[in-house]
Structure 1
Amino acid sequence: MSNMKSITNAARAVQKRPFRVSIEGNIGSGKSTCIKFFDKYPNVEKHGEPLDEWRNVRGHNLLGLLYSDMNKWSFAFQHYVHLSRLKIQTSQPCNSNITVKMFERSVQNSRHCFVENAKKQNFLEDPEYQTLLAWFDYSEKHLDINLDLIVYLRTTPETVYERMMKRGRAEESEVPLDYLKQVHESYENWLNSPDVGCEVLTIDADRGLACVKEDLERYSYKILGGNHTN
């Protein structure tokens, strides 16, 4: 009887979880700006990419280390990214009024985009790659990490490279255009495959910010889980 009660309580917890929206896109595609657009909705809990956490893992800047030597640091970085995204994606909302949880990139993105690209570019040895897959497979099997919607800010690599150079983040100064092309290809492969597992809303983010905001406003009902029932 106690086991049945535990299963029922777990099922209810899953049913009551917020509508999960992952904002996806290449470096410099406008993900943070997109999330800020929804500041006006008090029922939305928003999570940007935890850059500060990645820059200080007990004194180590994993993000900086990654960009300085992807062959050496991809495994450690992707392992920690999975943990940080998992904490964001599965944590309980800050209050009971939250009906939508929105975050910048997802556990699924790490698995199907960045880990796959790291393996393809030989930044990961096969034992490292298999370890990361096992980490993801366990999470997918035993935790509720499902997404309800992906908003894909689709860009060309050349556009985001120009934006990246203008904003001048220290770690990104070493990122070549070729890497952005690899990330773009990985996104296209992932979001056009059966592995997506949810609806994908694609927005042309090569256009100016005003146009992107118009699309966000136009599709806000969908993005905020309109007609969605848990």
Structure 2
Amino acid sequence: MTEIPFIAIEGPIGIGKTSLAKKLSNHFNFHLLKEIVEENPFLGKFYDDIEEWSFQTEMFFLCNRFKQLEDIEKKYLTKKKAVVADYHISKNMIFAKRTLQADKFDKYEQIYHILTEDMPVPNMMIYLHASLDTILERIQMRGREIEQNIKSSYLAQLAADYEAYMNEFEVLHPDIPVIRINGDEMDFVKRQDDLESIINTVHQRLTNHIAISK
């Protein structure tokens, strides 16, 4: 485990990953890594017709996230500068398994493993989860036009996929601490006490597991 904090925040669409990443970045003075979302030219078409546009959408995300992590490693982690990201690149496999047909998934999986085999790995995960009602409410509140056509059934399945993924992640990576945050009970955007509670938990985990670079 690297001594430089590299925190990744994960969870379903609209759960608040970027909002929390920004707040932790500001508090700890860590570099903020934000995934490219709205710049994906296929995303709107994907939400209208998942089967038709899934491969193009997932490949765009994979290539851009690969490039982002490559840059982060060179510009920050190798220079002992801490990073907090609003995604973990392994999320690509969550979406790909759900949206790609078998033949295209096989091709995608091969490319994924080639690109990510030597990518930097976060040494802390924060997992945001919530009920479907909360997820739908937050998607509506942030008002991204391209997300308004997302089917609730897709979001429900995605939330279940994330839960299964995180359960497996904890088994496969027992050395990487995972902080689970229930979005139904905590609102770190509207309630300062909730935010401070999360910050305190992160600080404690950093102190116990990772040397914070001053």
TM-score relative to the length of structure 2 = 0.83
Corresponding residue for residue 203 of structure 1: 181
Following superposition of structure 1 onto structure 2, how do residues 8-19 of structure 1 map, counting pairs within 5 Å? 18-19=4-5
Corresponding residue for residue 197 of structure 2: 215
Between the aligned partners of 2:119 and 2:35, the Cα distance in structure 1 is 20
CA separation of 1:214 and 1:80: change in aligned 2, threshold 3 A = same
Unaligned segments of structure 2, at least 5 residues? none
SS in 1 for 2:148: helix
Between the aligned partners of 1:150 and 1:52, the Cα distance in structure 2 is 24
Q: Percent identity?
A: 21
Say how many residue pairs are matched: 203
Structure 1 residue 159 displacement after superposition = 0.8
CA separation of 1:93 and 1:43: change in aligned 2, threshold 3 A = farther
Structure 1 residue 74 displacement after superposition = 0.6
Report the residue type matching 2:127 in the other structure: Y
CA separation of 1:27 and 1:214: change in aligned 2, threshold 3 A = same
Following superposition of structure 1 onto structure 2, how do residues 31-180 of structure 1 map, counting pairs within 5 Å? 31-41=17-27, 43-54=29-40, 61-91=41-71, 92-93=74-75, 99-111=81-93, 113-118=94-99, 124-141=100-117, 143-180=118-155
CA contact (8 A) 2:24 2:199 kept: no
CA contact (8 A) 1:45 1:98 kept: no
SS in 1 for 2:127: strand
- The one of the two structures with greater contact order (alpha-carbon pairs below 8 A, sep at least 6) is 2
Report the residue type matching 2:143 in the other structure: G
Unaligned segments of structure 1, at least 5 residues? 1-13, 55-60, 119-123
CA RMSD of aligned residues (A): 2.6
TM-score relative to the length of structure 1 = 0.77
Report the residue type matching 1:73 in the other structure: W
